[in-house]
Amino acid sequence: MNALATERPAPVLRDVRAVVFDTDGVITDSARVHAAAWKTAFDAFLRAHPPRDPGLRHPFDVRDDYLRHVDGKSRLDGAAAFLRSRGLDPSQETVRAVAADKERLFTERLRAHGVDAYPGTVRLVQALRRAGIPRAAASASRHAGELLDRAGVLDLFDVLVDGGEAARLGLPGKPRPELFLEAARRLGVPAARTAVVEDALAGVEAGRRGAFALVIGVDRTDGPDTGQRLLRHGADIVVSDLAELVVQGEPK
C-alpha cells in the first residue's frame, strides 16, 4: 500500500471535528508574491512621499513589515496600517490608490508565474479527508479561489470563504474572527470543535478571539522570534510545515 494512503492526522487533532485553513502562506506559496507586490507599491509611494522623520524612510521589509502590518489583513487595512507605521496620515483616497497598485502588481505576477501548494499542507488535508474531517479554506484575498485552482487543490476543500464573500457579507477583517467563524458555520461545526491554521499574527489572534478549539501557527520565515510572536498572538502550537501534523499508521 502507498505509504501516503496510510497517513492520518496527528494526535493533537484527535478531538477536532473540522479544520479551517488560511490560504496565503498556509496552503499556497503565495505570501511571497503578496509581499513582493506590497514592497514594490510601498517603496514607490515612500520615494514619492517620504515621511518627515528620516528614520522612517527606509524601504518596506518583506519579512518584518509584511508580518507586522499587512499579512492576513484586507488590502485596504494593510495599506493603511503600514503607512501609519511610517508616521503618515493617509487619506482614504491614498490608501485605495496604494492598495490598487499592489493589486495590479500581484495579479500580473500571479498570472505570469502562478503559485504552488505546499506539499506538507496537501498531505495534511488529504489525511483529514481520509479521516472524514471537513475542511475549509478562508482568506481575506479575493484571489483565493483562483490561487487554489491554479495550484490544483481547490477540490480538496469542502468550503471556500474568500475576500469577495467577506465583502458581500460585511465581515470585518482579521484580527476579528468572523471570517473563520463563517467558514466553520458553513462546515456545520462549532468553533469549539474546529481548528484554525494560520501563518499571520492577525490570523492566529482571530482564531484565539473566536474561541476555536485549536489555533495552529505556521512559521515558514525561520526568523529569530517569529514562532514566539505567533504564540504570543494566540497560537496554541507552532509548526514550520504542516507535514509535522501527519503520522503513519491506523489510529489506535
Catalytic residues: 22, 24
Determine the residue type at 204: V
The 3 state secondary structure assigned to 121-190 is: HHHHHHHHHHCCCCEEEECCCCCHHHHHHHCCCHHHCCEEECHHHHHHHCCCCCCCCHHHHHHHHHHCCC
Residues 182 and 77: their CA atoms lie apart, in Å, by 20
**Count of other CB atoms within 10 angstroms of residue 85:** 13
Q: Can you point out the beta strands (E) in the chain?
A: 8-9, 18-22, 135-138, 159-161, 194-198, 214-218, 237-239, 246-247
Instruction: Report DSSP state, residue 26.
Output: T
Q: Where do we find the cell 476579528?
A: 176
Q: Is the dihedral of CA 173, 178, 180, 186 positive or negative?
A: negative
Any idea how long the chain is? 252
